[in-house]
Chains A and B, each alone.
Chain A
Amino acid sequence: MLKIENLNVAYGGIEALKGISIEVEEGKIVTLVGANGAGKSTVLRSIMGLVKPKTGNITYHGKNLLAVKRHDIVKNGITLVPEGRRVFPDMTVLENLKLGAFTRKDQKEIKKDIDWVYTLFSRLKEREWQLAGTLSGGEQQMLAVGRALMSRPKLLMMDEPSLGLAPMIVKDIFNIIREIHSQGMTILLIEQNANAALHIADVGYVIETGLITLKGTGKELLANEDVKKAYLGESVIKLKA
């Protein structure tokens, strides 16, 4: 579905990505894990057209995505849940959801999708008329995901959905990601919380200082000694053992 080949991105003289290749297959959850500054967000920024790669290709269903304008990416079926939630604070939950469907004109279907989002996140239904800025962090994340779903994406990209949330809420969010996936959504998930991300991922990539160092299924990577050491924390593993 989405194919990134040999992507090379530099900010000024500093290379953030040094030729990485990633493939996202339809109907899969693909996750990209790595530490701060490894280049995770740069991958997403390149897909959204926010940075111009030096070399490399991004194709989506065989189409060159680098030639698509930033605001047309959503129309092509790719939606981003931005890092740090970024809901519209002075608008109500409902208005936020409606803005998610900004590129669509089919009012009836939009109404249906709002109801669908409310069944996924019943908490949002209760707070329909509340300003998004007054929601808790977890609710805001739910809203950000719901808002992204309103554009009816074929590929949903999430940038650090667990950022700054309590462990209990993180669990909820990941359950919801799984739920959305089971309804047929392809998901590209970018996470620092490698443990949670790899548990739900079909395919995982480990990215370090701009290079893909490991690739495998979620389970393989969870069992990998290097990944355990670097991202999962040895103490936890020892406790389990």
Chain B
Amino acid sequence: MKQKKTLLTVITIFVLFALVYLADQTLDPYKMRILNLCAIYVVLGLSMNLINGFTGLFSLGHAGFMAVGAYTTAILTMPDVVKGQNFFMAPMMKPLDTAHVPFFLALLISGILAGVVGYLIGAPALRLRGDYLAIATLGFAEIIRVVFTNMQSVTNGALGLKGIPVSANIWWTFGVALVTVLVIGSLINSSYGRAFKAIREDEIAAESMGINLFKHKVLAFTIGAFFAGIGGGLLGSLLGTIDPLMFRFFLTFNVLLIIILGGMGSITGTIISAFIITIGGELLRFLDESMTIGNLVIPGISGMRMVVFSALLMIVVLFFNRGIMGTKELSWDSFFNKFSKKPLAKGGNKQ
């Protein structure tokens, strides 16, 4: 049975990449951009879900970690000439202006740096709980943004960085998304994952079980920050230009939306909702344009789609108040159980 499931997983991965290949061959750049964004939001959503959903730490610092990752990747992959063109206000700091690493290494370093920042923020902030933690992490994310705005010789300040080599293509984004799913998935199913969930459900009880609360909270936070950094690096590389204003609270809010809609504490839910929200946001774009219904011409109101989108989300959250998946997962087990109808079977959810 276990072998069968592994085989099915491998086949699914192959099918996924076959579809990615097909998309790469047939779709226009606009659609490809959306697909890329979907995959990046899967990475970001999962990293935030690990912190907020699985471990139950209400953190709003995601944009900060993404900024660290995006800037690191950008600085480490930009060619010297482009760096020179960018930094006309103040020359770039010495070793950085000629620093170069391959894209993969740049992403890895982005993740590690974001993880280190996550650890440094988490160690003091995770002594707080609930709303207080949310405010503290939100504050830290803003601090990161303000610091980046003012480090003229490293980040080019408010001007941002332009001409970042676009190394992130559909293979990179979907590849990283797959790795993230596999890593976070196996983490959640390990004894660490069980400890994370125990902390989410009841801290006092978790502590009576001998779980080191602080260690596990910081661990979840650091790993979440690591993947947020990688997601940020991919995003910067995909867009080709970044500036500090990109990493405002709105970005964190977008990711938060994904995990709330998908279900706090569900990997498959996050994946599904990352696609729904990213594609949905684009599909509703017609609302911003002027429309002609019969003889009536409605002038386009820019931002209209966001209003409709928010209203739709409110409806979804009202009726599925635990998100699409809640804490459940789509797995081979649940798939088979749909057909086998075993009563309360092992791992099944038939009553």
List residues of chain A with CB under 8 Å of any chain B CB.
Answer: 48, 70-75, 79-82, 86-91, 95, 98-100, 102-103, 129-130, 147-148, 151
Contacts and interface: CB of A to CB of B under 8 A. Distances in A.
B208 to A, nearest CB: 5
Contacts of B211: 71, 99, 102
A200 to B, nearest CB: 23
Interface in B267-312: none
A98 B212 CA distance: 16
Contacts of A73: 210
B94 interface: no
Contacts of A91: 197-198, 201
Given A90-B327, A129-B346, A71 B191 contact: no
B209 A151 contact: yes
B210 A151 contact: yes
B55 to A, nearest CB: 13
Nearest to B211: A102
Interface residues of B, number: 23
B204 A82 contact: yes
A90 B201 contact: yes
Interface string B198-225: 1001101111111111010000000000
B344 interface: yes
A90 B54 CA distance: 12
B197 A88 contact: yes
B195 interface: yes
B198 A99 contact: yes
Interface string B335-351: 00000000010111000
B344 A100 contact: no
A86 B202 contact: yes
Contacts of A130: 344
A79 B347 CA distance: 29
A129 to B, nearest CB: 5
A71 B194 contact: no
Contacts of B209: 74, 99-100, 102-103, 147, 151
Q: Top 3 closest A-B pairs, CB basis?
A: A74-B210, A86-B205, A88-B201
Contacts of B327: 90
B191 A102 contact: yes
Contacts of B198: 88, 91, 99, 102
Given A95-B194, A129-B344, A129-B346, A102 B201 contact: no
B210 to A, nearest CB: 3
Nearest to B208: A80
Interface string B251-266: 0000000000000000
B204 A99 contact: no
B207 A71 contact: yes
Contacts of A151: 209-210
Contacts of A98: 194
Nearest to A50: B207
Find the residue from B191, B201, B213 having the highest chain A CB count within 10 A.
Answer: B201
B197 A70 contact: no
B234 to A, nearest CB: 32
B208 A102 contact: no
Contacts of A70: 207
Contacts of B191: 102
Contacts of A48: 208
Contacts of B194: 95, 98-99, 102
Nearest to A157: B208
A87 B208 contact: no
Interface in B311-349: 327, 344, 346-348
Contact of A102 (B204, B210, B346, B347): B210
25 contacts: A48-B208, A71-B212, A73-B210, A74-B210, A75-B210, A81-B208, A87-B205, A88-B197, A88-B198, A88-B201, A88-B205, A90-B201, A91-B198, A91-B201, A99-B194, A99-B211, A102-B194, A102-B198, A102-B211, A103-B209, A103-B210, A129-B347, A129-B348, A148-B208, A151-B209
Given A102-B191, A102-B210, 20 more contacts: A71-B211, A73-B210, A74-B208, A74-B209, A75-B210, A80-B208, A82-B204, A82-B205, A82-B208, A88-B201, A88-B206, A89-B201, A91-B201, A95-B194, A100-B209, A102-B194, A102-B195, A129-B347, A148-B208, A151-B210
Find the residue from A86, A87, A89, A103 having the highest chain B CB count within 10 A.
Answer: A86
A109 B201 CA distance: 26
B225 to A, nearest CB: 23
A95 B206 CA distance: 13
A48 B204 CA distance: 11
A100 B198 CA distance: 10
Contacts of A89: 201-202
Contacts of A88: 197-198, 201-202, 205-206
Contacts of A103: 209-210
Nearest to B203: A86
A74 B198 CA distance: 16
